[in-house]
């Protein structure tokens, strides 16, 4: 049975088939150039991604999508691995047709997988002589064989590539990815300090607040909902006087009584690890005497302690 798979390193999920601007061409093409696209955006054009509701989320190379319909050069899709209250099947939106490959088979759930563990990692040709793509943290591809120093993987176009062993972890199956503790979620998040905030971002090029919490949990074996308001409804409720590192913290307007608008990771010692907003970078900050202390409204735990 044919499947539809993302065949660019990062595919942006747009709100509509006509959301992308002329200046977004490097993000809607194939090949993409996400780094150049982001470098070309100034504060205002980055902020517009949020304020004009242009972007919903992002997908990584090799992730499977469900196709709902097509319009002009876009597919209306469901991101199957991103839970959402918008659609019980996953996260909906629009992706350029050129960034999705129709494949006869895609054995991601049936055998060993390679997970990219570096923030960004190069994918090489099978001879190792040519750089093919730069892949993001948490890209997952089917393993063909593991060699000394390298991992040979299957690509969405049916060909093969090679990743450095130092950039990946190999597991017997998706279900074999180990579940980390709260401290592991924090440790993973620390690696992305100073990464710029990107509305809708879900990759090593930039993340938004809930994309950051989603990705850090995913890296530690927990698949959680995509958006902050959905993340706040699941997991285990944690009293605000019993927080532990790795818990997700939620913030709402009107000093915690209004609409929920932000999520971060509890770092410990009263500190917040989060991706704040456009124009800022992922950071750790003390919450005492800040707006975050006033707006903190809830906490959820998705990680498990030993023996649970």
- Coil, strand or helix at 291: helix
Distance, CA of 285 to CA of 269 (rounded, Å): 10
Contact present, 119 and 215 (Cβ < 8 Å): no
**How far apart are alpha carbons 206 and 199 in whole angstroms?**
8
* Whole-number Å distance between alpha carbons of 275 and 265: 9
Q: Which strands make up the sheet holding 168-171, listed edge to edge?
A: 131-136, 120-124, 160-164, 150-154, 140-147, 113-116, 168-171
Could you tell me which of 150, 164, 133, 167 has the C-alpha nearest to residue 62? 133
Q: What is the H or E stretch that residue 265 is in?
A: strand 260-268
Q: Distance (Å, rounded) from C-alpha 215 to C-alpha 11?
A: 16
Helices (H) and strands (E) in the chain — how many of each? 7, 22
Q: How many whole angstroms separate alpha carbon 275 and alpha carbon 234?
A: 21
- CA distances, 59 to each of 76, 145, 203, 307 (Å): 14, 25, 8, 33
Strand partners, 251: 262, 296
Kindly list the catalytic residues: 209, 262, 274
* DSSP states of 152-181: EEE-TTS-EEEEEGGGEEEESSGGGSPPP-
């Amino acid at each position: 049975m044919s499947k539809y798979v993302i065949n660019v390193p990062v595919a942006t999920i747009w709100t509509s088939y006509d959301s992308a601007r002329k200046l977004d061409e490097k993000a809607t093409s194939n090949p993409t150039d996400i780094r150049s696209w982001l470098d070309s955006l100034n504060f205002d054009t980055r902020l517009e991604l949020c304020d004009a509701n242009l972007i919903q989320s992002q997908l990584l190379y090799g992730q499977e999508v469900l196709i709902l319909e097509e319009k002009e050069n876009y597919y209306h899709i469901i991101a199957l691995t991103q839970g959402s209250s918008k659609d019980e099947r996953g996260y909906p939106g629009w992706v350029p047709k050129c960034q999705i490959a129709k494949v006869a088979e895609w054995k991601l759930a049936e055998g060993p997988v390679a997970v990219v563990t570096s923030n960004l990692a190069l994918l090489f040709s099978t001879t190792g002589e040519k750089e093919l793509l730069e892949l993001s943290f948490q890209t997952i591809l089917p393993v063909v064989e593991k060699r000394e120093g390298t991992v040979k993987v299957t690509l969405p176009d049916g060909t093969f590539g090679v990743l450095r062993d130092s950039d990946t972890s190999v597991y017997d199956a998706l279900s074999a990815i180990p579940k980390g503790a709260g401290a592991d979620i924090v440790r993973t998040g620390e690696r992305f300090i100073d990464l710029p905030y990107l509305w809708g971002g879900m990759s090593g090029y930039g993340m938004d607040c809930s994309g950051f919490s989603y990705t850090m949990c995913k890296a530690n074996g927990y698949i959680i909902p995509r958006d902050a308001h959905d993340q706040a409804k699941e997991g285990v409720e944690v009293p605000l006087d019993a927080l532990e590192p790795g818990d997700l913290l939620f913030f709402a307007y009107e000093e915690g009584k209004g609409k929920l608008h932000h999520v971060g990771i509890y770092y410990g010692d009263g500190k917040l690890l989060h991706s704040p907003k456009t124009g800022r970078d992922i950071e750790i900050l003390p919450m005492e005497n800040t707006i975050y202390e006033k707006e903190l409204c809830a906490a959820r735990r998705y990680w498990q302690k030993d023996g649970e």
